[in-house]
Amino acid sequence: MKILCLFPDVVKDAGVQYDPSTIANYAYNLAKAFQDFTTMSASLMPRLKQLLHSDANGDQVGKVLFRLLTY
């Protein structure tokens, strides 16, 4: 999510520097971050489902959700 917020600044910097490759590099890094996120979330989702269907306390569920949301 953090990387998405950088897009306006990346476009501005690319314009100031007359360097369109800045946007291409940003797009590559965004795609890489998305791939990392989907891989990580795929491994955490079964654990989250297990916690939600068990007698887990809110702290355990919160830790898994925090890892997903702060990636």
HSE-up (13 A, CA, CB side) for residue 47: 13
More confidently predicted of 35 and 63: 35
- pTM metric for this prediction: 0.64
Cα(13)–Cα(20) distance, integer angstroms: 9
How many structural domains comprise the chain?
Answer: 1
Cα(21)–Cα(29) distance, integer angstroms: 12
Q: What is the DSSP string of 41-68?
A: HHHHHHHHHHHHTTT--HHHHHHHHHHH
Does the pLDDT of residue 48 top 80, yes or no? no
Domain that holds residue 51: 2-69
